[in-house]
Structure 1
Amino acid sequence: MTKLKLGRLSDDKPVKLTVELPADLHRSLVDYGRLLADPGAPPVDPVRLIVPMLERFIATDRGFAKARRSGPATKVSV
């Protein structure tokens, strides 16, 4: 099985979200959902991947965490 950054998704009640994605990003989410699914199971819906991916991104962004600890006046350079 492929080692992915996201683990199993919790079975939380879904939240509706309206967002436009570039076609390449959508194809990547579809592929990710296919790889994340258990063998023989249907692929994970790309919409269900967005929140855990954003949560993981925020949780592992050291610059964001540092700025957040410093207070709202601190700006982070990109």
Structure 2
Amino acid sequence: MKLAKLPDRTPVKMNVVLAPGLAQRLRDYAEFYAETYGNKEEVAELIPFMLEAFLDSDADFRRGSKRKNGESMGVPS
């Protein structure tokens, strides 16, 4: 079969405490998103995508993850 087994897609709920300034910036970001794309999204809906975009854009983190995954599998990096 060409299609690999699908990964676990069970959502994981996490609670975080934000500083008031950051909470306001996130609300501002949601407003900017609505102005840009013409549809309103709740901050809670945007945050997972924001975090994923941040992690995907962090080259040092990607290199570190590849190195860690290679070592844990016994593959030299």
Shift of 1:44: 2.2
Per the alignment, residue 25 of structure 1 pairs with: 22
Structure 2: how far apart are the matches of 1:29 and 1:54?
A: 12
**Larger RCO of the pair (alpha carbons < 8 Å, separation 6+):** 1
Q: 1:42/1:62 Cα in 2 relative to 1: closer, same or farther (>3 Å)?
A: closer
Question: Tell me, which stretches of 5 or more residues in structure 2 are unaligned?
Answer: 1-10, 72-77
Identity %: 31
Question: Tell me, which stretches of 5 or more residues in structure 1 are unaligned?
Answer: 1-13
Contact 1:37–1:43 (Cα < 8 Å) also in 2: yes
Which residue among 56, 59, 70 is the counterpart of 1:59? 56
Structure 2: how far apart are the matches of 1:42 and 1:69?
A: 36
Per the alignment, residue 33 of structure 2 pairs with: 36
Instruction: Output the TM-score relative to the length of structure 2.
Output: 0.61
The structure with the larger Rg is: 2
The code of the aligned residue for 1:46 comes to V
Count how many residue pairs are aligned between Structure 1 and Structure 2: 60
Per the alignment, residue 9 of structure 1 pairs with: none
Q: Does 1:69 align with 2:46?
A: no
Structure 2: how far apart are the matches of 1:19 and 1:51?
A: 13
